[in-house]
Amino acid sequence: MSYFNPVTVYLDKRVLRLLFLGFSSGLPILLIFSTLSLWLKSAGIDRSTITFFSWAGLAYGFKFIWAPLIDRIPIPFLSKNFGHRKSWLLITQLSIIFILVLISFTDPIKNILFLTILIILLGFVSANQDIIIDAYRIESAPVNLQTALSAMYVIGYRIGMIVAGAGSLYFVFILGGDENDYNSKPWQTAYLFMAVFQSVGLLTTLLSPEPKVEKNIIYDNNEKIRLLFIFFVGLGGFILTFISFPSFYFESILSKGLYNFIKISSAIMCSLILFWVTTKLKIIRPNIVNDTFFLPFKQFTKKYGQFTIILILLIVCYRVADIVMGVVANLFYSDMGYSLKEIATYSKFWGLIATISGGVIGGIISFKIGVNFTLLIGAILAASSNVLFALISSMEPNSIILVSVITADNISAGLASTAFVAFLGSLTDSKFTATQFAFFTSIMLVVPKLMSGYSGTLVDIFGYHNFFIITAIIGIPAIILNILLIRISNKDE
């Protein structure tokens, strides 16, 4: 570890590679959400139809379900010539580019159904790209480089989001897409430009080496077909259970959250039952199903024992304060009287610079004092920055103060994200990298996403000042769990 300098380490080619792969990973997400929503709104599509497109984002939350297939099944011909991780990444990135090109030739007014299918496919393959790049990052360099890799990945991801968000809207603007009369060409051209930018990741993959890590891959074609069959049976059961679950009206926020948890748990349980039935019917050998879908989780619990519960709780709680607050941030700026131009400049431009700075600082601090202590600093800063928002909520609008608070918030977010990504990577086993990391990132988002759906309701009930105080308080469990993690780690040492 000593031969790496915490600053010059960012010039290591393995680290720089993650800047471009992170960019490739961050680019598609806003093309599925905010940019697409504005295009559909410009086309006169009704709001209920626009919000339906958010279902494409479900793939990011449930990617752990099919991540085991990416760990175990090779791509014919490509895996032999490029390697397991690179072959999956090449197929995925080519698919993203192809879908973006198809979108660039689609007008939502003329063919909304085809666009819907394309966006759902884009969400699926983009989630796949995240799975593979996460696995590639962890497998491509030693542990003492992981925080720097994570920092560079976070920076690239944020830049990709800015290009897909503000960048695509800029293209639309200069091509006349903001005029009163709807014109699909500027929007279509913007998506075509995004397809070109996505080739950055493709080129990086082609020029990158395959990680030299032992993998538990299935080579028998018959077993691969059987495995894919039972996977789609299980996936079908999950989807049918999820979409056909009875609907109820709840006034209580807690009741709504509990209902959504039961809904998701029931869908997962249905998949598990179908997996069990298929093995009992001897459609596939039980050890294949076990090694693919269950062994990664058994290995994790066996490795960490009773410590597993603390790790899972920390993963679940760590981003809650940040994500729940972030949902209403732009609404808060607007209600405070700031213009759209000011919001874009402060939160996007200065926010991006602050996030990049926080990522680099997080990497340097992690290198010096370790990931666990950096995690604790990030958790404390995340909660503290929410208190700053509570303070300015009772003040008169002041641009300097707002920029200062946004900068502090984004620095803390960049620092925490870098440490957290490196921390999750350190928990994975090299034989199940994609599966375990996809699971960690999925459960990381479950509670924050469920809670963030009620952020607006909480603001209506308590007001902005009290809401920000509440979000700071819900960040305390992450701090406590971090302290417990450090104490247990020190005892083990």
**Shared-domain flag, residues 42 and 106:** yes
Q: What distance in Å separates the CA atoms of residue 173 and residue 169, rounded to the nearest whole number?
A: 6
Structural domain includes residue 300: no
76 and 182 co-located in one domain? yes
The alpha-helical segments, DSSP class H, found in 176-284 are 184-207, 221-244, 253-280
Is residue 294 assigned to a domain?
no
Predicted pLDDT of residue 2: 45
| 87: Cβ contacts below 8 Å, ≥ 6 apart | 74, 75, 78, 79, 81
* 191 & 321 share domain: no
pTM of the model: 0.83
Q: Which residues contact 230 (CB under 8 A, 6 or more apart)?
A: 274, 275, 278, 279, 283, 284, 289
Question: Is 416 domain-assigned?
Answer: yes
* Same domain as 476, residue 451: yes
Q: Which two tokens stand for residue 104?
A: 């660039």
Same domain, 377 and 234: no
Tokens standing for residue 46: 């009704």
Mean pLDDT over the full length of the chain: 85
Residue range 213-264, pLDDT digits in tens: 877 788 888 888 888 888 888 888 888 888 888 877 777 666 776 787 788 8
Contact predicate 414/356, CB 8 Å: yes
- Can you give the C-alpha Rg of the chain in angstroms? 23
User: Is position 179 within any domain?
Assistant: yes
Judge whether 296 lies within some domain: no
Give the structural domain span for 117: 1-214
Phi, psi of 341 (to 5 degrees): -65, -45
Positions of the chain with pLDDT under 70:
1-7, 47-48, 51-52, 54-55, 178-180, 252-254, 257, 327, 340-341, 344, 449-450, 452-454, 491-493
112: phi then psi, degrees, rounded to nearest 5: -70, -35
pLDDT at 1: 42
118 and 70, same structural domain? Answer: yes
Is the same domain home to 166 and 33?
yes
456, part of any domain: yes
Single-letter amino acid, residue 90: L
317, 330, 446, 447: which is closest to 383 by C-alpha? 317
The verdict on 336 and 251 lying in the same domain is no
Q: Are residues 252 and 175 in the same domain?
A: no
Number of domains the chain is built from: 3
**DSSP letters for 359-388:** HHHHHHHHHHH-HHHHHHHHHHHHHHHHHH
Domain boundary among 251, 284, 317: 284
Position 299 in a domain: no
The CATH number covering residue 331 comes to 1.20.1250.20
Final residue before a domain boundary, out of 252, 284, 316: 284
Residue 199 pLDDT:
95
Residue 257 shares a structural domain with residue 395: no
Question: Looking at the structure, do residues 261 and 316 belong to the same domain, yes or no?
Answer: no
pLDDT score recorded for residue 288: 84
